[in-house]
Structures are given as C-alpha cells and as structure tokens.
Chain A
C-alpha cells in the first residue's frame, strides 16, 4: 500500500479519541443508565449492570463504595471511598509503572488493572494502611531514613512492593529485592537509596519489628 492510500484511509477512520483516562471519575455518569445489579438465583449467574454499592476490605476495615462494573480498584480507592485514599497514584493506567501498587491478599498488584467489583472480599492494603498507632512501618521508616524517595509520586507503590516482599521474606537478598521492585519505576533514579532502604527495613523486620 502506498503512503498516500494509507493516509487516505487514516483520514476516513474514526476520529482519534486518544486514551481517554481511567474512566468515570467521581459521580455516576449522567450518560450511564444506572441499573442495579440483579441476581438470578436459579442460574446463580451474578450480573452487575450498573453502579452498585459494594464493600471493599481495605486496611483492615470495610469501606462501602459505589462502583460500576468497569470501575478499577484504583478509581474506587481514589474517588469512591470515604475518605478518599489518594496515596495510591494514577500514572499510566495500564499496568506499566507500579505507582498504583497495592497488596491484594498480601501480594503486590496494580490497582489500575483490577476491577473493584472483582476484588470484593479480598484483603486490600494501601500505603495509608502501613503505619499504625505506634508509628511508621519499618519499610516507611527506612525509606525516610535512607532517603529512598525524591519526588515521592512512585513512593507509595514502592512501599507496597517492598512490604509485599519483606512480609513474606524478610531475609530477601539484594537480587531478590531488585526483582521484587522491578515492576515499579522511580524516574528520579534514586534506586540505590531505595535498595538501601529495603535492605535496612529487612534488617529491622528480622530484628523483631512489626
């Protein structure tokens, strides 16, 4: 095909809509017909057709949230629970950066690549759930002490990945740390300090921290 023909085809093609964002922030869309979920007891096929209130288990508590079928966990955390949990960040919206990493049943996952309705009943932890009444978690403390953060936008995701690793394997070696953090980007390039922080957090955990 000649360039010219390709160009002509292009023009004829539907207008570019670009990646239009994570979809439906905040209030229920005025264009979406709100249909409550219907349950068909005979077939046991659950159907969710529109906005529905679900209960998310987040940071040890239960949070009601009105979500659509397409609402991602990230969207729900940032915009649909009260208070909003905005520590988890939207960066790429396509599982390509790690800034929205949360723990789902203890395992790091991208909140932007999970449907909120799909993780109902699973235990979710976000950066807001790391510190408790006694103060920062060992991982948070080590990130502050070793300066494992610059602009801070990727930091919550790194904290969750590091926590996911160290809670299962506090004696993780340097290679395991690098591997566990390889789904998170720090564009400021402070990886050396992050590695140091995670190593320090591991030491503290082994010495009987939380």
Chain B
C-alpha cells in the first residue's frame, strides 16, 4: 500500500469537497478499498474516511412502511434488522450472502454497491485491463469462467454486488451527494453498462459524488421476495448467478413480478419480458422456465462461461419454486 493522507470530514459538504478535489477515494468499511490499495489497483493521494459523517448509519422505517438505509449501515446490521427481514426478505437475504461474517461486520451497504469488479484480470496489477485504462478485456479471449454472458462488451466484468439485484427488484432509489448537491437516482439507472458509459466506472457517480442513503418504497399488498445465490463455495464467493425476485400475490395468482439477476452481466440484469412471463397462476413451472428463457435471451457466452446460461435458468426456477411453496 502506498502512503496516503487520511482525511476525516465531519459533514457531507466537507466530504464531497475533499473527494472532488481529485486524487481522493472514499473509505467506508474498507473491505474493497483496502484490497484495491494493497494490490496497487488504486493509488490515491488521499483517502476520505466517511465514518464520522453523522446520520448515515441508521435503518429507518417510516409510518407508511418506506425503508431508508444509510450508506454506512453494515451488511450485518442490515441482515439482522427484524424489520428488513420481515418486510424485505430479499434484501436481508442478499446482505447475508455477502462475503464472510467478518466482511459483513465491517462492510457497508454503500460500499457493497460501489465495489469494483472481481475479474482476475482486473485484479492482477500488471495486466493492462480495459477497466484500468488498458486497451483490451483479457477475459474475452482468456479465462472467462466467471465473466458476463449478458450485456458484455467491450468489458465483460460482472457486477459483484449482491445487494444491488435485491434493491433493483424493490425499485429502490439511491440518494447521492456530490459537489453539485444532492440527487436521487433509481437503482435502475445507477449502474452503467461498459458500452454505454465510461468503461472505467460501473455507475453514474460523478467525481466527488457518494451514495448516502438507500430508499426503498413500501411494498403494498402481499409480497413474497427472496434472494438465491449460486456460488462455488458457500462463503466468501461472489455469485456465478444470483436471482432476486419479488412477487405480488393475490388470490393464488402472481399479479406483479420483479426479477433481477446478479453475476451474469456488468449490471444487475432485469428483463421485463421475463417478469411478464410469471404473471398468472402462482405455481406454474412452465412460466418459470419461460421466465428463465427470457432472462438469458441474447446471451453471448465467452469460451469458459457457457454453463452460466443453463445455470441462470436453473436459478430462476429454483428461486420461484422456493417463493411459491
């Protein structure tokens, strides 16, 4: 790790000013940032510690059932919160599936959303990976086992966040704060494909801008939601394919469906046609299969990740089987 200046602001204004000055990176739980610093993937002059900022470490549910989660809330706190578990199980389950116990105890919700890719070419310091300013995505012709089957090109990373797909099916919004002030961005618009934005970034954050809060609107009606994560080992690993699902159920029928996948694309992958396929009788295996088919439509596997196509379909079936049983 190279030397840096550790800056500890007390107010959000100070924080964004420090961050916007350039050469600075934000520190929350540090579970991704320290890895980046140690591997020399990032060498900031200043690290801006956000943990002294007030009011960003709470979980609140208002009278109408709307949930607000501060960006500094740890994944453990989110996982253990009884209100989250009861009303938004998909979010609690997603938080519980992150990393390991120790990572969840230190890691934050904001950090989980903003973490950098895990592709091993990106994480290898001397590979001139596209996402670090190089010219080529090495996974394209290289070891692509863990890379994207959907939405890839020119970079084929998958977004590693588990919390993001869960928030996506909850139609959450993110509260951002930057030098230009505060703005709200739906999770749907927060993450960017490499082909449509800056390939060096995974989201719309501007220089100096940080995520401050997550706002999840109350779910009206009867909902079933859950998060299923497929990984090679049951701790530490990122998703090879994960499914966040939320179904509104009325009189034995699915009347609204939201389905989002993690681990298959550079952004949380949500497909409207897949959701439409689920409308109808609650337990309908053919609908699950159809949803799976729609979800991976257009998939373009690389040399070593073709298995993710049947895997993604299978995970959708598994998730829906669980939620409708």
Q: What is A's interface to B at a CB cutoff of 8 Å?
A: 1, 3, 6, 9-10, 13-20, 22-24, 29, 32, 43-50, 68-70, 72, 93-96, 98, 101, 104, 107-110, 112-115, 117-118, 161, 179-180, 182-183
Contacts and interface: CB of A to CB of B under 8 A. Distances in A.
B40 interface: yes
Interface in B1-44: 1-11, 14, 18, 27, 30-31, 34-35, 37-40
B6 A161 contact: no
Nearest to A72: B34
A9 B135 contact: yes
Q: Which 8 A-B pairs have the closest CB atoms?
A: A183-B100, A182-B235, A69-B6, A23-B1, A46-B8, A16-B126, A48-B6, A107-B105
Given A114-B30, A115-B34, A70 B4 contact: yes
A9 B76 CA distance: 43
Contacts of A6: 136, 138
A49 B5 contact: yes
Interface of chain B: mostly helix, strand, loop or mixed? loop
A44 B102 contact: no
Contact of A47 (B6, B34, B100, B138): B6
A124 to B, nearest CB: 13
A101 B102 contact: yes
A19 B41 CA distance: 10
Contacts of B249: none
B4 A69 contact: yes
Contacts of B126: 10, 13-17
Interface in B217-261: 234-236
B98 to A, nearest CB: 11
B10 A98 contact: no
Given A47-B7, A118-B51, 8 more contacts: A14-B126, A50-B3, A69-B4, A93-B38, A94-B35, A113-B35, A113-B106, A118-B27
B125 interface: yes
Nearest to B18: A45
Contacts of B172: none
A98 B102 contact: yes
Nearest to B233: A182
A56 to B, nearest CB: 15
A5 to B, nearest CB: 8
A9 to B, nearest CB: 6
Contact of A108 (B6, B102, B138): B102
Contact of B128 (A13, A107, A109): A13
Contact of A109 (B27, B105, B127): B105
A72 B2 CA distance: 12
B10 A44 contact: yes
B14 A179 contact: no
A46 B7 CA distance: 6
Contact of B106 (A9, A44, A109, A182): A109
